[in-house]
Structure 1
Amino acid sequence: MSKQTSDQLKSSDSSTLVIRNVQLVEPGRGISSGDLLIENGRIAEVGSIPVTDTGKVRELDGQGRLLTPGLIDLHTHGVLNHFYAEGREDLLLGGKALAQFGVTTVLPTIVPQMEVGWLDKIAEICAALDDVRGVNMPGIHLEGPFMAIKGTAAATLEGDLEMLKDIVAACGGRLRVMSLSPETPQIIPVIEMLRENGVTVFLTHTRASVEQTESAIAAGATHATHFYDVFYSPPETDMGVRPVGAVEAILADRNVSVDFIADGIHVHPAAIKAAVAAKGYSGVTLITDSIVGAGLPPGRYDTPWGFQVQLAEGDAPRTVEGNHLAGSSLTMEQGMRNLLSWLDLPPEQVWAMGTGNPADVVGLKEVGRLQVSDWADLVLWDDDLRPAQTWVRGELAYNRSQS
């Protein structure tokens, strides 16, 4: 067996590989010492793997470090200086950059701008997904257009089935998620049509009542994205009586999962702990909601939404005019480190929030776990919990020692 160190591995190496002497993280189930065999892009064996001398199998010593499934980000608008909504080039370049942050699957998230040609732009993005290298992009996430409240840039529209038909057609089967507000007029038929087309419905940007939220859930909404952020409570009607709305309706329904921007700015760790108490670890997922600037140093950056953001050290992006939060600069690796630090849970349950849980939220198969026959989307972490190597479909997509 050909033995290699991490700095000898190259992205062109695609033969059978055994990663030895690692701590295997099976999300939600446990962590155990062992080895993992990759063959033909998939996980072929997990556990104690005998040594062979065929010369056809390469070997990597994991040095006792953690080996996890690749991270999955369901809500991200961009990374570095690449904004997915800009089109094909940004999609390709941004996708290629994600492996350094431990991300192996992503849903590029687009806010419809409702300008002339916007459907053509969405069609261009969806058509480019299969050309992306270094990360899996199984579909897109549309944040809008059926919103009752504007966040930074989301459109405000009534539910419109004809428009929805045009959106679904433009996506060519690649619309995986749509986020919407439960109180948007005529939204129930929209949710029902989305579900009929296999699209997962997220709730967000809302001042909805309990009843409006429950109706959206009954129609097929199953998840709430960037939970607590742009989730407003109804106005207080009786002094001292806390009003309830979408947040409480979502927390009360164990069939509805939630995700968080775990940067310590958008949401307090105590709020995440409260959601875990209500949902269990399997009902909570990590996202970034990242925009341009994620993974970059402090500075001022342009967005295609028509405004600039300022990124300061230790802060999230804020609009230059108004100083309002505008997405995040969080990366998935930092989000995982934050959750592991904040949550008093077994680490394998926390790791699930960035791997198996998001896969389950949108029905992704063969990713998010270390199971035989699943795709070999993997991250080997260093002692500081930073990605050292990332594999996508068994191919080495990132090796920090060579970057």
Structure 2
Amino acid sequence: MDCELGEYDIEYKPRAAIKAQALTDFLIEMIQPMEKEVWRVFVNGASNLSGCGVGVVLIAPSEEKIKLALRIDSRVTNNEAKYEAVLAGLQAAQEVGASRVIIYSGSQLITQQIKGMYEANNEKMLKYLGLITARAASLTDWIIEQIPREENAEADTLAKVAASMSDISTREVLCFTQLLLSIDEEIPSIQKSAWMIPIIEYIIHEKLPEDRAQAAKIRKQAPRYGIPRRLISDNGRQFQGKKITSWWQEMKSIQSFTSVAYPQANGQSEVTNRIIVQALKARLYGKDKNWVEELSSILWAYRTTPRSSTQETPYSLVYGSEAVLPVEIGQSSIRIESYPSNNDQSRAIELDLVEEKRDQAAIRVEAYRSRVMKSYNKRVWPRNFQVGDLVMKKIAGR
């Protein structure tokens, strides 16, 4: 097949300038308004014999996850726990600054009641619906959807862990505790017991009773319930300086240093510091940078461990009773089960007897010192000298 080529002229012309209005029309036509970012929130609540727990998983538009576990120290039903989960999810979304939110819950009853498809006849459910409407008012747009339980596994696991008070080893989960239900607007006020009134009057108004013995007792008890008026420390440089001095002045407290004439006071501080440092070294295994994270647990162990000299823990000598360990809350012990229900009266009795406990501890300390001295003196060979005996005198060189 034959092919014939023809000649075509190509003419080049410079491009004309684009008019401003044409460029504006192009931008309006091509650039679409960006939709606001949508946050997905998966929630679930669980209520069992161990307690009530709420699990929340927030997923950002960038697919980053924020996990929350909330324990509620109150008796609730399973439906109330799921309502608390929705409220916690809304509050968490507000805290991260989300404006458009989709909440996913596994409860058909809760989702349909919030949508208005099911009628809520219970008074508590009506309160929850009103509180959810009020809390979601700050959001631009939000909806709630029901999903199968398999798709809500993460939030379900967090809720069960929070309800059972199990330890959460990972730091990816933020743990919180809520004392009351969200619908309980009236928070019970703390009743002032008779033994608290004089102490409060002394801390706030510096008023003391006329009885000298009672006034002295209140002076000793007051530092346990407020900022100490005087703090005694050794002569270390960490306790000196302009910043710490100005801080003590702001706290209206007096800073005192132990005198060199009484070296045993400095020795007590150094012994305590040495014990804390040794415990930190045992926990860190060479990773010295993480000492701040381990310090709280070391101090807790030191304060709740009985001393051999006093046979009491430092915690009990300050507060009059032993500390309740976290494990005793999740797994009830004999001490917790036999503890009287009237806590205020029991605490008042313990505070009245704390001075007697301290006196007994002081007696044990003296007995411990005498035992140590007797044990030390067993290794000493006594030698008796008479007046006129010749002894060797050694003069130290300068």
TM-score by length of 2: 0.20
- More RCO (CA 8 Å, sep 6+): 1
Computing the radius of gyration from Cα coordinates, the structure with the larger value is 2
> Where is the helix percentage greater, Structure 1 or Structure 2?
2
TM-score by length of 1: 0.20
